[in-house]
């Protein structure tokens, strides 16, 4: 079990940006210039070139979404425990969202927030790893909050406002999400992964249900069984298989 080292006692400092290309890019630059500290939250009202997983973009109208990055010194976690931080983040985002949206929010492996079968948010973690090990993690989070509509090109988006019919103060929500993450991260490094992992699995999207998946040009139906402690998706379709991030795609109908 990892022992406490540099954990976040409180969220801060809080940096609000009027506009930036990407909060992750901004945070990474601050780290490289020696200006970031553990626990810093960078929140943007607008991103001009938001980043998603696997080179995708994350687009959102100004003042409509939670667009933020949290800088974390992950010690005492090791490079081999990167999924621990990913699961901790996804759990925090989902629990925070369900505080407002009810109990229907789920974690779609590996990094998306889903409400029913619609995407409400995503997570992108970028790491700085050197000879001394895992030095920094920049946790990028985007959550749809006050949008009334989305571009037609987006397959299945949904916002918190569409779910609840309410408008939300973004800065208040950033602070709340930061505190939820703070509590879970401190639990992770003081108590260990087991409790975080169990909570993560309880919120796994399509768990014990049939899903349509794709590997290369081959698509197939499989039951979503679990996610391994190493972060691999476990499915069953006659045989049980594990897949790492990037090896498999979800096929979700409109």
For residues 89 and 26, membership in a common domain is answered with: yes
- Domain of residue 242 covers 210-250
Helix axes 170-191, 82-101, angle to 10 degrees: 140
- Give the chain's radius of gyration (CA, Å): 18
Instruction: Read off the tokens for 172.
Output: 């208040």
For residues 65 and 191, membership in a common domain is answered with: yes
CATH code at position 49: 3.30.930.10
Q: What is the CA 162 to chain-centroid distance, rounded?
A: 21
For residues 242 and 141, membership in a common domain is answered with: no
Cβ atoms 137, 126 nearer than 8 A: yes
Instruction: Note the pLDDT of residue 1.
Output: 38
CA–CA distance, 209 with 202 (Å, rounded to integer) = 13
pTM as predicted: 0.90
Instruction: Note the pLDDT of residue 148.
Output: 92
Q: Cis omega (within 30 of 0) on the bond before 110?
A: yes
CA–CA distance, 136 with 208 (Å, rounded to integer) = 35
> How many domains are there within the chain?
2
CA–CA distance, 99 with 145 (Å, rounded to integer) = 13
Q: What is the pLDDT along the chain (254 residues), one digit of tens a residue?
A: 333 333 443 456 899 999 999 999 999 999 999 999 999 999 999 988 666 554 555 566 788 999 999 999 999 999 999 999 999 999 999 999 999 999 999 999 998 999 999 999 999 999 999 988 999 999 999 999 999 988 887 889 999 999 999 999 999 999 999 999 999 999 999 999 999 999 999 999 999 999 999 998 889 999 999 999 999 999 999 899 999 988 999 987 54
Considering the domain boundaries, does residue 96 fall inside one? yes
Instruction: Note the pLDDT of residue 164.
Output: 97
CA–CA distance, 183 with 181 (Å, rounded to integer) = 5
């Amino acid at each position: 079990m990892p022992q406490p080292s540099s954990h976040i006692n409180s969220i801060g400092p809080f940096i609000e940006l009027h506009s930036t290309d990407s909060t992750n890019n901004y945070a990474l630059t601050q780290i490289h210039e020696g200006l970031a500290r553990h626990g810093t939250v960078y929140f943007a009202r607008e991103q001009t070139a938001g980043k998603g997983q696997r080179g995708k973009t994350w687009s959102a109208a100004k003042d409509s979404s939670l667009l933020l990055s949290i800088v974390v010194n992950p010690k005492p976690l090791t490079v081999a425990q990167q999924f621990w931080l990913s699961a901790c983040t996804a759990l925090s985002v989902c629990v925070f969202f369900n505080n407002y949206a009810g109990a229907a929010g789920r974690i779609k492996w590996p990094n998306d927030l889903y409400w029913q079968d619609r995407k409400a948010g995503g997570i992108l973690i970028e790491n700085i790893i050197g000879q001394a090990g895992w030095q920094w993690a920049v946790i990028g989070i985007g959550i749809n909050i006050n949008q009334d509509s989305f571009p037609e090109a987006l397959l299945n988006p949904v916002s918190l406002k569409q779910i609840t019919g309410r408008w939300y103060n973004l800065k208040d929500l950033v602070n709340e999400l930061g505190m939820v993450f703070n509590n879970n991260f401190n639990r992770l490094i003081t108590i260990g992964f087991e409790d975080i992992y169990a909570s993560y699995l309880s919120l796994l999207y399509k768990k014990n249900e049939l899903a349509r998946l794709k590997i290369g040009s081959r698509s197939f139906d499989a039951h979503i069984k679990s996610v391994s402690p190493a972060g691999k998706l476990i499915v069953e379709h006659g045989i049980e298989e594990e897949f790492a991030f990037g090896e498999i795609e979800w096929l979700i109908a409109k």
